Structure 1
Amino acid sequence: MYNLEQYKLDEIIDANSLQDIQDKYSKLTNLSTITVDRQGVPVIKPSNFSKYCNLIRSSKEGYRRCITCDAMGGLQSSKLKKPIIYRCHAGLTDFSAPIIVNNIHLGSMLCGQVSIKEKDTRNSIDLQKLSEELCLPVDKLESALKEINTVSYEKVKNSADFMYMFANLIAKMGVANITHSKLLQETKEKMKFQQLARDIQIKSIQSQINPHFLFNTLNTMASMSLLENSNSTVELIYALSDILRYSLKNSDKMVNISVEINNIKKYLFIQSVRFKDKLKYKIDVPKNLLSCKIPAMTLQPIVENAVIHGIEPKKESGKIYINSKIKFGNCIVFKIQDNGMGIEADKLKSLKNKINSTNRDDSNIGMGIQIVQDRIKYYFGAQYGIDIKSSPDSGTIVYIKIPLVY
């Protein structure tokens, strides 16, 4: 296997995607944000930086101190493996959310450049000393410092916790993509190791969530200002946080069906807010099945496909219906149905061939369904898995068959 330490953060996460995430997070929270590597050096452009911090960084010595401060904040948070809140060298409050995958510190996302409302420390900053040491006009420092935002400690803490979950999930997605590509290459070169590669591949990609969903959710939340104390925005943030937490904690576990369904409800709630009246959904799972086990993240990729490929392209409103029942006495069959665009016959045939094939290609077509199919067969055997029925303009039905396990 490859050594993760040989990769830089911007090699693991696409720089444009990372910039998009950072910009939207900064807009959502109204906090200055920057993403740095292990040494504290920025890997993309900063977002929403304050006039005060831009002035500090305009000085060669000020920039050096900021890089050192960022590196120390990132290192300390990585050692503790959790976000930390600290006071920077220029007197403002920042927080560092470490990006850690497989116990390897890849970098950090740093936010803040604020003063804490409960303890405003701006008056204790020695601007005259800063002016002399950084060769900056003291009057400009004073003017810029007055524009610094004052926020509550609770907001800083909640923002730090959310950033930590989000940044690490995105990093895991990037590492999973690298792992997937490496395994595909090794499998082609060494066919006798195919089964081992497939087992590792399944483990490496279990924690993925479709970035399409994440980016669109951030777009939705960013357009609903937190400053307006919008209840909908708060509910969206809680729902997304719960989904991220669910993915990170349960990626390689079997969970109760009730837990999986609860996660799907949060996902569909977010999408229903995004699409407003365009998306309706109903979930009908008998109570006697809720305590049965299912691999975590089995249903979400299928539901995502229904939303993205079925409902989203429609001009009219769409519906998604999820139900389950016991069949043959020892199996559970989930039925995920949408009234979306449907799939043409040749594409459906190609999709079925792909998800039932032992060969893997580099395309993203049907990847989510393919992963679910692989995991079901990995856990339960070849007699279980997915079947798809669809036709253009008539929607799609996906059946998922798993054994009855308590």
Structure 2
Amino acid sequence: MIEAENLLVKLVDQRLYGRYGSVIPISNISLILVDNMGKILMEFNPEPEFCKLVCKKEAARVCDGCLSRLGNGLEHRYVCEYGLESIYMPIVVGEETVGFVIGVQAYSTDTEYKKYLLDVATLSEETGESQEKIAKALSTLGTVDSKEIRIYEQICGHVSNNIALDIEERILNNETDIERLSIEKEILEKKVLDLEIKNDSLVINPHFLFNTLNSIARTAYYENSHTTEELIYCLSDILRYTLKTENQLHTIEAEIDYINKYLYIQKVRFKDRLNFEMNISKELLPQRILNMTLQPIVENALIHGITPKRDGGSVKIYSEICKEEFIIYVEDDGNGFPPRVLKTIRERKNVEQTNSLGLNSTNRRLKQHFGESFGLFIKKSDYSGSIVGIKFPKS
């Protein structure tokens, strides 16, 4: 008997998101990894807020309706009581199913009408959540057509098969971590189909770009140019991440993974002139933030803090947990903000009119999404460096 949950947990501990997060669709459609008991081990793309508010009894598990479908062996697709389409693909090691990859959790063009038949007032009474909160979550549910669902079904199948192979190679057989480049290329081609469906004008550039990067990485792999190969894959992951919806919520873990890759590329560029350190509480990793929140702040620290110094410097990213919120700090030991910018910030008590530093739009996005009490603030800025804080509400 295989200890199913332990195998999946071991794989998650080996940075599963970094390996598969780059081959999921560029969209806000849900894709998660669960064990046989419905416990959520990884969210590649998060579940809809509607499911969390209305359907689920426990935050870390799928709803009872989904759990009842897993492992019935009859089909890999179903429609829930609220009309949402879901796909689930088993992860089979040997002859035993050790978990599932679940995707979509959105309306199809055939079931979208059910969205308008739901009684928000009744749902509010049943769940104890406010009508406004449920109505907002309901309005954000996506709709996909049959062609898109087939693509997601193929992607879920690819991811589940590759996770099973990873368990056999890396966990059971204790083999080295071998990148299956041809398999990644095949999955990326599925992603190109996803782009085709959404916007024909986007087809040529992503198709050319990702496949070219993949070909260059393959060449570097066979020439034993491992640093070059790693740089190319980091760049490819960064480009995929930046193509995702601007105001889509991601886990802090995903955002930190992106920043690690961004800083890895910068480290190769700056060499000994740049050092960076991450210290984010594990408690915060599942929390949700807007994508591309940290990047402008980190880039600001590099361009205006580290680059002007002959000997370079360091960037530190760390967190603080408060009662109703959490804060992520980006600290550098550069020369601080230019005096005129710092004067503007202090007079206005926010980061407006700092467009040149890439802070204004990030601050505006945060306030629009989370409320006026959240966003960016300058904790410190002088000749010894700067500290920019990013304040978010707890999920």
TM range (shorter): 0.3 to 0.5
Instruction: Give the TM-score normalised by the residue count of structure 1.
Output: 0.44
The TM-score, its normalising length taken from structure 2, stands at 0.45
- Which structure has the greater CA radius of gyration? 1
